[in-house]
Amino acid sequence: MTLQEQLIEKTERYSAHNYHPLPIVLTKGEDIWVWDTDGKKYLDCLSAYSAVNQGHCHPKIIQALKEQAEKLTLTSRAFHNDRMGSFLEKLCSVAEMEMALPMNTGAEAVETAIKAVRKWAYEVKGVPNNQAEIIFCEGNFHGRTITTVSASSEEEYKHHFGPFTPGFKLIPYGDAQALEAAITPNTAAVIMEPIQGEAGINVPPEGYLSATRHICHRHNVLFVLDEIQTGLGRTGKMFCYQHEHDAKPDMLIVGKALSGGTYPVSAVVSSKAVLEVFTPGIHGSTYGGNPLGAAVGLAALEVIEEENLAERSHLLGDYLMRKLEAIPTNKVAEIRGKGLMVGIELHKDVGPARPYCEALMERGMLCKETHETVIRIAPPLTIEKENIDWMVDQLTEVLAAE
């Protein structure tokens, strides 16, 4: 057995099998590159589902991590720490919001958003207790906790995990009329992704987000965007909703690249009017807002701004899209996306995307299929044009017409 086979065997023996990774063992990462234990180098076109927008082991983020790790890592929120304020000040400025509530993982931040909008519904909007409804979209992905899968339409995420959290309604994604029809006097919020990532890079029709915002405001319903995957530069803007005029949400949920892939940091960012429903003792997290996460989060946000990563994503994403559309192949049904968040949907009769991801891996390009038939392309936003040329060459050969 090779070293990689031994490591995979050990991992598979002791780990619950809740993932089906490609057969590769990574040991090192730098910028857009990762290396396996044989020393083979790969171009990372997944970026840990957009957590590594700034590139692997970004020197500035790692420096912040090291310095803070040697000083103070965790106080709990029983005491103030000297890093959280500056981090949240930066986050609020980047998100153009007034207040933030820091958590750790994305799913926890979504749970926090759900708690916030329910409490707002009872205490501000005046919905009768325990009657609040939240509207979600079919095909959504908001995490893997019981409550976030309760809001899912995906049978695979839910099978034998019931009973589920009540109070959620599903509507078709991309249909503003369906949203308006689903609103009742008890609706607290609509929570959606501005592009559905896990569902296969589903881009809604132009104008959908601003229409949603206006419908929400007309009915005194909070408009909440889960930008955990689409935010922080990924789609060619700091936040994906900024592609549309007048589509700013009442609340943003962020995670993933908020720490540049070093340490779980997430947050809910909103107005004072909404987040002031939280009073001492009613919600919390031992690690949420810890000084290590705060130091890393501040550095991660600074890197996105200093290196113009949103602008890079916009320019290079357009370049990538044009090149992908020019690939001579009869296997591709559709290419979708914004910025450097792109999905290549294969024709149904071509079969699953996984063998193509395996073939790309052999060629030194790491991708992961999403939703069976979609090859997802989402490299770190620090990628250069010549790397995109190389990437498209690999795809061209793998997708060559037979």
- How many residues does the structure list for the chain? 402
The DSSP line for 253-312 is: EE-GGGGTTSS--EEEEE-HHHHTT--TTSS--SSTT-HHHHHHHHHHHHHHHHTTHHHH
By the rule CB under 6 A, 208 interacts with ligand PLP: no
Q: Is 141 a catalytic residue?
A: yes
Nearest C-alpha neighbor of 143 from the set 167, 161, 117, 116: 161
By the rule CB under 6 A, 221 interacts with ligand PLP: no
Q: Is 331 a catalytic residue?
A: no
By the rule CB under 6 A, 189 interacts with ligand PLP: no
Supply the minimum distance, in Å, between the C-beta of residue 190 and ligand PLP: 15
Between 283 and 322, how does the x/- string for binding to ligand PLP read (CB under 6 A)? Answer: ----------------------------------------
By the rule CB under 6 A, 368 interacts with ligand PLP: no
By the rule CB under 6 A, 233 interacts with ligand PLP: no
By the rule CB under 6 A, 193 interacts with ligand PLP: yes
Q: Which one, 61 or 327, has the nearer CB to ligand PLP?
A: 61
Tell me which of 141, 223, 239, 278 is the catalytic residue. 141
Tokens at residue 237, please?
Answer: 């803007």
Tokens at residue 293, please?
Answer: 């996460």
Supply the minimum distance, in Å, between the C-beta of residue 322 and ligand PLP: 26
Between 345 and 364, how does the x/- string for binding to ligand PLP read (CB under 6 A)? Answer: --------------------
Cβ–Cβ under 8 Å, residues 257 and 50: yes
Q: Which one, 61 or 107, has the nearer CB to ligand PLP?
A: 107
- Residues binding ligand PLP: number (CB under 6 A): 15
Q: Residue 49 region, left (φ>0) first, then alpha (ψ -120 to 50), else beta?
A: left
> 136-175 b/e with 16+ CB inside 10 Å = b?
bbbbbbbbebebbbbbbeeeebeeeeeeebebbebbebbb
| CB-neighbour burial class of residue 362 (10 A; exposed 0-12, middle 13-18, buried 19+) | exposed
With a CB cutoff of 8 Å and minimum separation 6, the contacts of 261 are 47, 48, 51, 52, 54, 56
- The amino acid present at 10, given as its one-letter code, is K
Helix, coil or strand: residue 69: helix
By the rule CB under 6 A, 229 interacts with ligand PLP: yes
Among 197, 261, 289, 293, binds ligand PLP (CB under 6 A): 197
Q: Is 368 a catalytic residue?
A: no
Among 31, 133, 226, 244, binds ligand PLP (CB under 6 A): 226
**Rounded to whole angstroms, how far apart are CA atoms 21 and 336?**
24
By the rule CB under 6 A, 241 interacts with ligand PLP: no
Tell me which of 31, 36, 44, 226 is the catalytic residue. 226
Helix, coil or strand: residue 67: helix
Q: Considering only the stretches 68-76, 78-86, 138-146, 302-310, report the one whose residues sit in contact with ligand PLP under the rule CB under 6 A.
A: 138-146
The DSSP line for 100-112 is: EEEESSHHHHHHH
By the rule CB under 6 A, 228 interacts with ligand PLP: yes
Among 143, 174, 204, 379, binds ligand PLP (CB under 6 A): 143
Residues lying near ligand PLP in the complex (CB under 6 A): 49, 105-107, 110, 141-143, 193, 197, 226, 228-229, 255-256
